[in-house]
Amino acid sequence: MSIKNPKTDFFFNKDSKWKAEYEKLRTIVLETQLAEDLKWGCPCYTYKDTNVVLIHGFKEYCALLFMKGALINDTNGILIQQTENVQSARQIRFTNLGEIVELEPVIKSYIFEAIGVEKAGLKVELKKTEEYKFPEEFQSKLDENHDLKRAFEALTPGRQRGYLFSFSQPKQAKTRIARIEKYIPQILDGKGIDD
């Protein structure tokens, strides 16, 4: 059994509607020999410093998030892709402690499979930047402003994808334009959307 990391205690000690579920998930994950750490404000479990699984909660459910869940053989049909744009991660969602207790052997088998994915060095094939929808409003800005075009092309592929994803989300053109305008200075500074 792995050792509890005191850095994560605040997460498990805070008043939450998922307190009992979090504790049970923690117990299950720690039985798999993964190291416990705190990342993104949540308990994250790693194999040789590589993130494998994370415990987190939302209003309607708590979840065990598998970082490379897309590579796990979901024989029980319980892994959920949060949104169509999430490429690698998958969740098992829970709404009560009984579900976790009932699925404990399955949860452990999925965790061990996720560890096997890391041991094998498997990678999720991510979409290339050019596969993302390129909003015509942004293309117009790039065509008008050569400095902006050069700055965008100089960004890392991940930063480019972040902008393209964000710019293509609004349904209305005026909202897309406003969002693009907001981030032009950041692109010109060579920064990503979250920098």
Alpha carbon distance 57, 150 (integer Å)? 40
Residue 1 belongs to a domain = no
Domain identity same for 60 and 107: yes
Domain identity same for 11 and 99: yes
SS3 40: coil
What is the structure's pLDDT at 193? Answer: 87
Give residue 67's pLDDT band: very low, low, confident or very high (50, 70, 90).
very high
Between the two ends of the chain, the Cα-to-Cα distance in Å is 38
| pLDDT of 104 over the 80 cut | yes
Domain containing residue 100: CATH number: 3.90.1150.200
Domain identity same for 148 and 84: no
Beta carbons of 97 and 108 less than 8 angstroms apart: no
Expressed as residue numbers, the domain containing 141 is 129-188
Alpha carbon distance 37, 61 (integer Å)? 22
Strand partners, 46: 35, 51
What is the structure's pLDDT at 129? Answer: 66
Token pair 């053109």 is found at: 173
Q: How many domains does the chain have?
A: 2
Domain identity same for 41 and 73: yes
Domain identity same for 109 and 64: yes
| pLDDT of 133 over the 90 cut | no
What is the structure's pLDDT at 37? Answer: 96
User: For residues 195 and 112, which has the higher predicted lDDT (pLDDT)?
Assistant: 112
Mean pLDDT of 30-59: 95
pLDDT, averaged across the chain? 92
Strand partners, 80: 91
Q: What is the pLDDT of residues 74-99, one digit of tens each?
A: 999 999 998 776 778 999 999 999 99
